[in-house]
Structure 1
Amino acid sequence: MKTKFDSTQWLLAALCLVWLLAVPESRADQKIEITKQDRCPVCGMFVYKYPKWVAQIYFNDGSAYFYDGAKDMFKHIFNTQQYTPGKTAEMMTEVWVTDYYEVELIDAKTAYYVIGSDVLGPMGHELLPFKDQAAAQEFMEDHKGKSIMRYQDVTPAVIESLDRKG
């Protein structure tokens, strides 16, 4: 038995196809485009010098900010107005960090962060991001890490404790 499509069904199928073709790929699949002029809005360092540590935040107005580590990215999240006047944390649409082992962008909100390790980032003690718990656990054991945290567990007090070390 053959099924005939009426004009409404054809229109819906065409709209679905157009929508699928128009949806942009995830930023995680895109190459990080950092220029030599891009500076971390928190510390002022030139981010291009530290590609293995890059973090990114995108806002709903299309603006993007790059960081020389997850620690400064969290500082921006916790005090958005100070670093980007006129913007709020609620305006952030995407938050990315670089997986320490894979050196690829991962969603900061699903990452596992090791704190208290013997590995220092460009700004000293850091949160080291990993895309899965097994990699974070391995790193923690190999580098004397203190604990593994999730995005929602990182607080201003955690960030301050990292800055007080060393």
Structure 2
Amino acid sequence: MKQVTLRWLLAGVVVTILSGCGDAQEHTAVKPAPVNFESGDECHVCGMAISGFPGPKGEAITENDQQVRKFCSTKDMFAWALQPENRNRNHTLYVHDMAQTQWASPEDTALIDAREAVYVVGADRMGAMGPTLASFAKKEDARSFVEQHGGEMLMFPDVTLQHLNRSMSGSDSGELLMESMEHSRMDSMDPE
């Protein structure tokens, strides 16, 4: 009788262990959806208001506590993401696809996975804090942007702190910001 009970107990343990192995495959992490930018949101890096400024914005959703950090520009998002304590973490990052929205006021419906985006560094368009990285879902759109506004195309893993610190050569940042704001005004007047 004890042998039968012991066998059933061992069978139960084996079934429990095997069913636990199956659950491990089912517990894959689901990527959180992007969070809309709201009036009054402030940049996690510089503390500046996010709304009302041109250019792509960014956001990070931390992997463990799912806390949302919003950034007034892609440049500030990269400044945060490239810090040693964040670099190797699997945070979910979003940026605006600038081929799908206006430079003057990017729409949240155009948020894309930042790790899959193509970036243009060194263009003549300004973001909230001056020079920024234009972000695109497709290389063709980034290439077209480079033809119109200059700059260099990079993929997410290729962006470094040196790219963020690169100054706009051959032009005054104030002049470029004014020109970018003029472009932004014209974009917002487009009936598209």
Tell me whether the two structures share a fold, i.e. TM-score over 0.5: yes
How far has the Cα of 1:93 moved from its partner? 2.4
> Partner residue of 2:161?
156
Quickly say closer, same or farther: Cα 1:163–1:113, change in 2 above 3 A. Answer: same
Report which stretch shifted further, 48-57 or 151-160.
48-57
Per the normalisation by structure 1, the TM-score is 0.71
Q: In 2, Cα distance between the equivalents of 1:37 and 1:89?
A: 28
Quickly say closer, same or farther: Cα 1:90–1:25, change in 2 above 3 A. Answer: closer
How far has the Cα of 1:52 moved from its partner? 5.1
Query: 3-state SS of the aligned residue for 2:116?
Result: coil
Q: In 2, Cα distance between the equivalents of 1:93 and 1:124?
A: 25
Q: Does 1:71 align with 2:75?
A: yes
Q: Does 1:120 align with 2:126?
A: yes
Q: In 2, Cα distance between the equivalents of 1:162 and 1:111?
A: 22
Per the normalisation by structure 2, the TM-score is 0.62
Q: Which runs of 5+ in 1 are unaligned?
A: 1-18, 82-87
Which string of whole-angstrom CA distances, capped at 9 and with x for unpartnered residues, describes residues 44-70 of structure 1?
Answer: 111133475221100021101111111
> Partner residue of 1:99?
97
> Partner residue of 1:33?
36
Aligned length: 141
Q: Does 1:132 align with 2:118?
A: no
Q: Which has the larger radius of gyration?
A: 2
| Structure 1 runs, 4 residues or longer, greater than 3 Å off | 23-26, 88-92, 162-165
Whether the aligned pair in 2 keeps the contact of 1:58 and 1:92 (CA below 8 Å) is: no
Q: Which runs of 5+ in 2 are unaligned?
A: 1-25, 102-109, 174-192
Whether the aligned pair in 1 keeps the contact of 2:55 and 2:134 (CA below 8 Å) is: no
Percent pairwise identity: 27
Query: 3-state SS of the aligned residue for 2:154?
Result: strand
Q: How big is the alpha-carbon RMSD for the aligned residues of Structure 1 and Structure 2?
A: 3.0
Which string of whole-angstrom CA distances, capped at 9 and with x for unpartnered residues, describes residues 76-128 of structure 1?
Answer: 012265xxxxxx44444201110112130111111111122111111111110
> Partner residue of 1:12?
none
Quickly say closer, same or farther: Cα 1:142–1:51, change in 2 above 3 A. Answer: closer
Q: Give 1:161's aligned amino acid.
A: R
